[in-house]
Homo-oligomer: A and B are copies of this chain.
């Protein structure tokens, strides 16, 4: 119980060896107290715990994972921490990780592929239990790199090349379909789909769904596709201003914006600036349910993706893959979106 003098050498803290000496037991016993408590007698356990407390001992995780060959963290690389869907996914993943005693480490790629690759490599070198990746662009190269190193990786919100890895997706075609369908049901006949080019998959998927709903509705309903030049609120403002200049009969009466930011920007210009009533003259649906969507100029009707469930599902797939080893078969989980009606569409 005597407090031994702390190691003076640098700021290397006390080691398990020091704990063992203080407690008067062997190194292995200290390790057992920490990792296999059932193997140690209560009395010994207590002596060791006291020594740990007295010394302020902190396990060295590097030594631990080096010796054990395992690691209690999962790394998650997010293309964009500002997107609330991504935050929800991180939250769900964290819940599922904790349920297994694992920690979730986050890295923000700030929409930059170089950052994304660097963080993938960092997690790779850290020998994390596995990696979750929610990208905004094709990331086949990075995925292949991880897998070539034997590291498990699960993709979120972006379909991998078939058979490359596990993934959790939203049925984005249905996102587009539900959005357009809702407008059509509300009586809109001149729809527009506002989106931009680029390789962000959801854009294309949602477009297909929008088209499907319009075709299904028959000749009474038309579809215009508008290129906003980008996916942000600023691009929405630009698009909104252009639309506001049109004559009333050239204006779409129902608008599906591929991102909520686009929708919010458009509504601001149309409704607040130009006085074109939303949803009176133009109804607008967003495709994401961002945090901002509910508190916009006109609270936005959206098609919601279940981010938290996606995160949970991804973590479960990852852990299954890790434990299955060679028996593993890649799986894709597709979750369904849901319409959330607010004020930017009739009713």
Q: Hey, which bits of chain A sit against chain B, CB under 8 A?
A: 11-13, 56, 58-66, 69, 71, 73, 81-82, 84, 87, 90-91, 94, 103-108, 110, 118-119, 121-122, 124-127, 148-150, 233, 264, 268, 291-292, 295-297
Contacts and interface: CB of A to CB of B under 8 A. Distances in A.
Nearest to A66: B62
Given A56-B149, A127-B62, A296-B295, A73 B108 contact: no
Nearest to A128: B61
Contacts of A125: 58-61, 64
- Copies of this protein in the complex: 2
B148 A56 contact: yes
Contacts of A105: 105-107
B149 A58 contact: yes
Contacts of A148: 56
Contacts of A73: 122
A106 B103 contact: no
Contacts of A58: 121, 124-125, 149
Contacts of A149: 13, 56, 58
Contact of A103 (B13, B62, B82, B118): B118
A295 B119 contact: no
Contacts of A297: 295-297
A208 B58 CA distance: 41
**Max chain B CB contacts within 10 Å: which of A11, A58, A118, A124?**
A58
A107 to B, nearest CB: 6
Contacts of A71: 62
Given A87-B82, A91-B108, A103-B119, A62 B264 contact: no
Given A60-B66, A105-B106, 14 more contacts: A13-B150, A56-B149, A59-B125, A61-B122, A61-B125, A62-B65, A73-B122, A82-B291, A103-B122, A104-B108, A105-B105, A233-B295, A295-B295, A295-B297
